[in-house]
A = this chain, B = another copy of it.
Amino acid sequence: MSQIPTERDVLKMMETLSNWGRWGADDQLGTMNFITPRERLRAASLVRDGVPVSCSRPISSEISADTSFQPLRFMVDSGEGRDTATPARQLERRGASEFIGMVFHGYTITHVDTPAHYFWNGRIYNGRSCNLITSREGAQVEAVDLLKEGVVSRGILLDVATLKGRWLESGEGVMPDDLDAAEQAAGVRVEPGDILLIRTGYYARRRAQGPRHPLKDGSPAAHVACMPWFRERGIAMLGTDTHNDVTPVPYPNLGNAVHVVGLVAMGLWLIDNANLEEVAQACAARRRWEFMLTIAPLVLQNVTGSPVNPIALF
Contacts and interface: CB of A to CB of B under 8 A. Distances in A.
A239 interface: no
Interface of A: 36-41, 44, 47, 49-54, 56-61, 63, 67, 69-70, 72-85, 90-91, 93-106, 110, 116-124, 129-136, 138-139, 145, 148-150, 152, 253-256, 259-260, 292, 294-305, 307-311, 313
Given A84-B122, A101-B100, A130-B82, A300 B94 contact: no
16 contacts: A36-B50, A40-B47, A40-B50, A52-B149, A61-B302, A63-B63, A79-B129, A80-B85, A83-B84, A94-B118, A96-B139, A97-B117, A98-B103, A99-B99, A99-B102, A100-B103
A148 B58 contact: yes
The complex is assembled from copies of this chain, and their number is: 4
Contacts of A124: 79
Nearest to A37: B50
Q: 5 smallest A-B Cβ distances: which pairs?
A: A81-B81, A83-B122, A37-B50, A101-B101, A79-B130
A131 B296 contact: no
